[in-house]
Amino acid sequence: MNEPHPEKTWLEPLLRECVQALMPWARSKKIALRVEPDPDKKALPQVLADRRRIEQVLNNLTSNSLKFTPEGGEITLSAAAGDDAHPGTVVVRVKDTGCGIEADERERLFERFAQGKSSRREGVGLGLTISKELILQHRGELWVDSEPGHGATFSFTLPQALS
């Protein structure tokens, strides 16, 4: 995998482009797919990121959500300045109302070729591994919060660009 070439990048257009690209799939499954604005109404700071690589991560995470969210569900992409736990970053989230992920599956989720029990027939399990590697190359973190039956939230951080 080529090293990323980070530059100052605005995240909101990347979120909107991801939603626009995957909207036909979401509509075919009757899933609401949207970008949620920052509740603090603050302009997001720019991040240091390789735009193409972050598009790939967003598409991987959102595609996974589309696979595991039932008809009538909802997927929301959002970004906000990092909190005390993630200072100097922007935290991006892809939240769905899908089937959720068991605790023991969450441990293995980012391993090469790992798939959850509900993976059915789609994919070979590389998307999350690649996404994790790409975010680590950006000096960020990628993690998942989930409860079976209550959906999943995949989150990642990217460093803020210095002014």
pLDDT at position 115 is: 54
Does domain 7-159 correspond to CATH entry 3.30.565.10?
yes
Cα dihedral sign for 11, 127, 119, 140? negative
pLDDT at position 147 is: 87
pLDDT at position 104 is: 83
How many whole angstroms separate alpha carbon 134 and alpha carbon 112? 14
Q: Record the pTM.
A: 0.89
Tokens standing for 20? 């626009």
Give the number of other CB atoms < 10 A from CB of residue 95. 19
109 φ, ψ to 5°?
-55, -35
The domain spans of the chain are 7-159
108-121 burial code (b ≥16 CB/10 A, e <16):
ebbeeeebbeeeee
Q: Which residues pair with 94 in a beta bridge?
A: 77, 154
pLDDT at position 116 is: 53
Cβ distance 88 to 163 under 8 Å? no
Mean pLDDT by 10 residues, the chain (163 residues): 86 96 98 86 85 97 95 96 90 95 84 55 68 96 93 96 81
Whole-Å CA distances, 28 to 4, 25, 159: 33, 5, 35
